[in-house]
């Protein structure tokens, strides 16, 4: 799978589904751009003649960008196998990402913040005597403010804990920090758009009463996959009770790689087989 490949076809779906496919492509593109920018900064730090503080800023921020880009590329590559991350505990179906995704998100953000703080200290201790020191100071200050802002919008997950849950009653999300958010099925949650806010990739979910930003950057879950899940269970409220059973887990996993048309066709076959069973037993 390339960085710009759409993950799965959405036969006969709306323009929202196409937007979801493009959003997944954008996630891969953002990861690639960040990786290339980091490599460029590191190479430039060896070739550019300036103050020690400015060269250190390019080196440290470049390494952080490389780590960020690699982490996002790993997450993007795992989206294609998102069905493996779903679990069922008898009360709901849960999305449990690998420890690499959750721990890596915290480590990469910490590396970015420490790099900006370290280069800021170097610029201050240099006395700002050279033009490069002044550039390093303002760039480091800007980067530190950006990292602080990004931390406030980043959800914190405990390794092994679910990051997204689906129950017969609704969804359990973690918008930012350690806060949890419950969204009822009665409010008809739908995928609205994908957007990077304060450096954190987020999905905007629309309900009948509010709009909710849900962080998806550190999760190997695609916007298109999330959209299919919401559409299917919004259209089939009679099937929500299966989300406490193994059959519901299998259905959610199928939604991760199959199109909505394929899942609907499978559901029609299931219902046709169930309708034929009483007739066959009566004939015997």
Locate 139 and state its tokens: 């760039």
Identify the pLDDT of residue 16.
66
Residue 130, class by beta-carbon neighbours within 10 Å (0-12 exposed, 13-18 middle, 19+ buried)? middle
250 — pLDDT class (breaks 50, 70, 90)? very high
Bridge partners, 88 (sequence order): 93
Reduce the DSSP state of residue 76 to 3 states and report it.
Answer: helix
Average pLDDT over residues 254-261: 92
Bridge partners, 214 (sequence order): 203
Bridge partners, 201 (sequence order): 196
Could you read off the pLDDT of 122-150 as tens digits, one per residue? 888 877 777 778 888 888 888 888 888 87
Could you read off the pLDDT of 41-98 as tens digits, one per residue? 999 988 877 788 888 889 999 999 999 999 999 999 999 999 999 999 989 999 988 8
CB burial string 43-80: b at 16+ within 10 A, e below: eebeeeebbebbbbbbbbbbbbbbbbbbbbbebbebbb
Contact 224, 234 (CB under 8 A): no
Using alpha carbons, select from 29, 42, 34, 23 the residue that is nearest to residue 3.
Answer: 29
What percent of the chain shows pLDDT beyond 70? 89
Beta-carbon contacts of 52 under 8 Å, excluding residues fewer than 6 positions away, are 122, 126
Distance CA(97)–CA(161), nearest Å, equals 8
Evaluate the CA torsion angle 255, 73, 163, 204 in order and state its sign: negative
277 — pLDDT class (breaks 50, 70, 90)? low
Could you read off the pLDDT of 176-213 as tens digits, one per residue? 666 778 999 999 999 888 888 777 788 889 998 888 88
Given a cut of 60, whether residue 13 has pLDDT beyond it is no
H/E run at residue 236: none
User: What is the reported pTM?
Assistant: 0.82
Distance CA(208)–CA(183), nearest Å, equals 11
Beta-carbon contacts of 30 under 8 Å, excluding residues fewer than 6 positions away, are 72, 196, 201
Distance CA(248)–CA(159), nearest Å, equals 24
11 — pLDDT class (breaks 50, 70, 90)? very low
Mean residue pLDDT across the chain: 84
């Amino acid at each position: 799978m390339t960085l710009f490949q759409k993950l799965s076809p959405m036969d006969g779906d709306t323009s929202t589904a196409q937007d979801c496919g493009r959003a997944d492509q954008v996630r891969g593109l953002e990861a690639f751009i960040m990786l290339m920018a980091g490599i460029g900064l590191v190479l430039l730090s060896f070739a550019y003649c300036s103050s020690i503080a400015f060269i250190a800023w390019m080196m440290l921020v470049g390494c952080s960008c490389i780590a960020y880009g690699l982490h996002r590329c790993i997450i993007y590559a795992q989206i294609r196998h998102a069905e493996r991350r779903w679990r069922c505990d008898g009360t709901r179906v849960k999305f449990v990402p690998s420890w690499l995704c959750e721990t890596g998100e915290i480590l990469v953000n910490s590396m970015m913040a420490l790099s900006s703080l370290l280069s800021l200290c170097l610029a201050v201790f240099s006395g700002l005597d050279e033009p490069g020191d002044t550039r390093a100071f303002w760039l480091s200050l800007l980067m530190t403010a950006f990292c602080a802002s990004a931390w406030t919008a980043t959800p914190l997950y405990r390794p092994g804990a679910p990051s997204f849950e689906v129950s017969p009653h609704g969804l359990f999300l973690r918008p930012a920090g350690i806060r949890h958010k419950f969204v009822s099925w009665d409010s008809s949650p739908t995928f609205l758009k994908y957007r990077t806010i304060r450096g954190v990739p987020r999905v905007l979910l629309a309900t009948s009463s509010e709009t909710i930003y849900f962080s998806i950057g550190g999760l190997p879950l695609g916007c298109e996959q999330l959209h299919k899940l919401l559409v299917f269970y919004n259209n089939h409220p009679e099937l929500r009770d299966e989300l406490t059973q193994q059959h519901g887990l299998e259905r959610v996993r199928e939604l991760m790689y199959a199109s909505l048309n394929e899942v609907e066709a499978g559901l029609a076959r299931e219902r046709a087989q169930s309708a034929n069973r009483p007739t066959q037993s009566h004939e015997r």
